[in-house]
Amino acid sequence: MFKLGKFELNEPILLAPMAGITDTVYREICKEMGADIVYTEFVSANGIIRENQKTLDMMKFSSKERPIGIQIFGDSVEVLGDSAALISERFAPDIIDINFGCPVPKVTRHGAGSGAMKDLDLMIKMTEAVIKNSNNIPVTIKMRAGWNADMLISTKAGQELEKTGVKMITLHPRTSKQRFTGKADWSLIRELKDMVSIPIIGNGDVETPEDYVKIKKETGCDGVMLGRSTLGNPWIFSQVKDFVKNGIYKQVTILDKVNLCNKHHSMLRKEKTEHTCLNLTKKHYSWYLKGFSNAAYWRTEFMKCINLSDFDKVLEQMNKEISG
């Protein structure tokens, strides 16, 4: 059990921030499935201080999503600090999280995301600036093991970040250069946990409830963050909780998937423009459809759709076939 801001948390399961995925609709679905903390997509600090409307829209959330974190990234100490001030004043999330973990080259080449892990002093200055301007909103970190295999700095970075006043660290124990290849080295989570007193959240290669139990046992982490394993399977939050409590969990049926497909699509229609709704629904359905009979056929039919009217027709056909 630990406290983060005004929330008491006991071995929380967190939804990772994922670009193009963790919008308000997906966050609400994951909260309903049992996620304890959710995060926005990562947001550009430069976009925030320029008050770019698309960027500002990404940070909007409803009260039922709390506790929620807004995750920011950037390569400038001043800009990150100013963005934290705007976030705290205008949005008042429960957490401001700094992204030191994104390995995508268009982010890292300028020293943002996991690119910052090449310069620990810069990481510290960025973090201090965010904390200074956060208006007492807890500041947390998501980071990688280091830039590459010769620069594994997560333990040292964690110790230094704790001194700044960071309240929690999530560690994905791959290097930036690995991206998502190879295996996450959970021993680095254990090493970090043993060297700091703030809560440590484990992340990486947790794909099943059994993996959740294993990472907890091997690392002693205070909670677990799930990302890619939730795609097409937000039930994993409730499955993990059932498995921890009862030693068993309910398998997801095709009908469960169909029902959630319909619900997700309906929620997107209320929140998004037709173009955005269509693109997001296609993306999520490609994940939900895994395990369906004739999955390849239905995926192809959905991808052919050029408007929501077309999509509704295919969806109706699929519902009839599955339920009939």
Q: Report the catalytic residues.
A: 102
| Pair 27, 61: CB distance under 8 Å | yes
Q: Decide the pairing of beta strands 223-226 and 200-203.
A: parallel
Sign of CA dihedral 213, 214, 220, 223: negative
* Beta pairing partners, 238: none
| Region for 5 from its dihedrals, namely left if φ exceeds 0, alpha if ψ lies in -120 to 50, beta otherwise | left
| Six token digits for residue 133 | 């301007």
C-alpha distances in angstroms, 83 versus 48, 96, 318?
6, 10, 45
Task: Assign 58 to helix, strand or coil.
Answer: helix
